[in-house]
Amino acid sequence: MSASQAGKVLKRETLIHILRAALRSGEYRFARQAALSWLASFPGDLEVTLLQAQAIIADGKAGQVTAALDRVCRRDPLYIDAYRLLAAASQGTDPVRYSFAISSLYALSGGNPGQTQLESWALPLRQAFECFANQQYDEVEKCVQETLGLNPELLLAGVLHLLLDRATQETLTVYQLAELYHARWPECLPISLVLAESYLEMGNEPEAVRLLHLCASADTTGQAARRLWGNDHAYRSLWSEDLVILFDQPIPASVASTMGWNFLASGTIPPAPIHPAVPVLSAPAQPVKPAVVESNQESPVEDDLITEELEPATEDVLIEEPVEILVDDMPAEPVDEILTEVEPLPEDLEKTATRANAAWQSRNEPASTSANRSKSGRRNRFHTETAAAENSGGGTTETVSSEFERLAKKLNQPSLAR
């Protein structure tokens, strides 16, 4: 699975900053989950373990972390922050553990314990550490023996005793004491490191390497080894410096804000460019002429036309195109009323129309056809009757034409009269 599929690569130093920011911003649940994701890959990271415990304590669940803090104190009894957090977790709920944590904290760092009742071994052990820092090894021996006499099972006193022998005694003596204390406290990192060093000096490299690897897994960052041998010790290659995990949890906005991740660079929004106002051109107000409808009527009815004029525009507006008025939109007289006004045709109109139609067909008939038909007696008689009708029916034809014109006017279609 690639990093892009599972999450983003998160370095340890970035995780530490995120956890501390989460504690400051009150995102305790997120801090617990983030620390748990890291400890799933590096369970020996003591600092992250303390940060996780701090989030649990701040969330009001201090009872859940006391056992884990006890293990951290046994693993690295010189870790001052572990005692400080253990005291905070047990205050008011576990007097015995609280007294142990405060006394150990006083022995390591000094200070004024205030109204707190310290253990009897706290004062001589504090003096032993002060003398050890000043290389007053004789005084250290006296104070350590006094402390062990008060509490023989005190791990912190045993660690200082071994460190004193390492500084003053030969390798064999150191090896014997280290092996004794390692059998009693196998989890203790300082004791295991001194024993591994003794193995190397005595030529037992396989056992020394085994112990060093165990210490590296129990202390991911190698803080106990650096405290004993310094930052540039000979075995630092056993501890990886590039610790990363694939982190896919969303970071709360308050945490990102605390870390300064969601702050944008200050600036101003540039104003929009100011363009000169473009005047709106308006056409001069003119009356709208009525639409002209072409018609063959001799006297068009004015009521059938729309002659209403639009009021002139008083503001700058866009003049729309004039609307065309279609003939179909004009009101028309009902057909029933027109038909009722048609006068009946004269009685002889049908006969006159028949004779006029026959005369028209004879004039337009082809010559060959007329020649053939002229041979027939009946056609000769027909022509004779037609000629007679034309001579005698001049007035009738005019009557028919006038009737057609009058009828066409009634129907409002003058073209029918032609």
pLDDT tens-digit readout, 355-388: 656 655 665 555 445 444 444 444 444 444 444 4
What is the predicted pLDDT for the residue at 302?
A: 42
pLDDT of residue 382: 46
Which spans in 230-348 are helix H? Answer: 253-259, 335-340
Taking Cα atoms as reference points, which of 79, 103, 278, 269 lies closest to residue 189?
A: 79
Name, in order, each residue with C-beta under 8 angstroms of 138's C-beta and a sequence gap of 6 or more: none
pLDDT value of residue 355: 64
Look at phi and psi of residue 49 and say left if phi exceeds 0, alpha if psi is from -120 to 50, else beta. alpha
Helix (H) or strand (E) holding 364: helix 349-364
Asked if 282 contacts 316 with a C-beta cutoff of 8 angstroms, the reply is: yes
Polymer length in residues for the chain: 418
Name the residue among 244, 239, 240 with its Cα closest to residue 225. Answer: 239
Q: Is 11 helix (H, G, I), strand (E, B) or coil?
A: strand
- In this structure, what DSSP letter does residue 283 have? P
Query: CA–CA separation, 24 vs 254, rounded Å?
Result: 10
| Intra-chain end-to-end CA distance of the chain, in Å | 97
- The residues, ordered by sequence, that sit 6+ positions from 334 with a Cβ below 8 Å of its Cβ are none
Type of residue numbered 219: D
DSSP-based three-state secondary structure for 10: strand
Tell me, what's the pLDDT at 409? 72
Structure tokens at 85: 């957090």
Q: What is the distance between the alpha carbons of residues 351 and 155, in angstroms, rounded to a whole number? A: 148
Q: Cβ atoms within 10 A of the Cβ of 70, count?
A: 17
- Residues linked to residue 11 through DSSP beta bridges, in sequence order: 244
Q: What is the dihedral of CA 299, 305, 311, 312, to 10 degrees?
A: -60
Identity of residue 331: P
CA atoms of 376 and 383, how far apart (whole Å): 11
Check if the beta carbon of residue 352 is closer than 8 Å to that of residue 399: yes
Contacts of 212 (CB under 8 A, 6+ apart): 193, 196, 235, 238
pLDDT at 1: 40
Helix, strand or coil, per DSSP, at residue 9: strand
Report the distance separating Cα 389 and Cα 111, nearest Å. Answer: 153
Contact indicator for 251, 27 with CB cutoff of 8 Å? no
Q: How far apart are CA 42 and CA 218, in angstroms?
A: 9
The whole-number mean pLDDT for each consecutive block of 10 residues of the chain, a chain of 418 residues, reads 60 96 96 97 97 96 95 98 96 94 95 81 97 97 97 97 97 97 98 98 96 97 97 94 93 91 57 55 51 46 41 44 44 45 50 59 54 47 48 55 71 57
Whole-angstrom distance, CA of residue 244 vs CA of residue 54: 22
AA identity, residue 351? K
Residue type at 299 in one-letter notation? S
CA angle 118, 119, 124 (to 5 degrees): 100
Q: Which string of DSSP letters, residue by residue, matches 384-409?
A: HHHHHHHHH-HHHHHHHHHHHHHHHH
The whole-angstrom separation of Cα 383 and Cα 196 is: 152
- Which residues are 9's β-sheet partners? 246
CA distance 262 to 392: 115
Interior angle at CA 105, CA 100 and CA 110, nearest 5: 130
Q: Report the distance separating Cα 89 and Cα 68, nearest Å.
A: 11
What local confidence, expressed as pLDDT, does residue 148 receive?
97
pLDDT at 20: 96
According to the model, what pLDDT value does residue 353 have? 56
Distance (Å, rounded) from C-alpha 138 to C-alpha 135? 9
Residues 282-304: pLDDT tens digits?
Answer: 545 555 555 444 444 444 444 44
DSSP 269: P
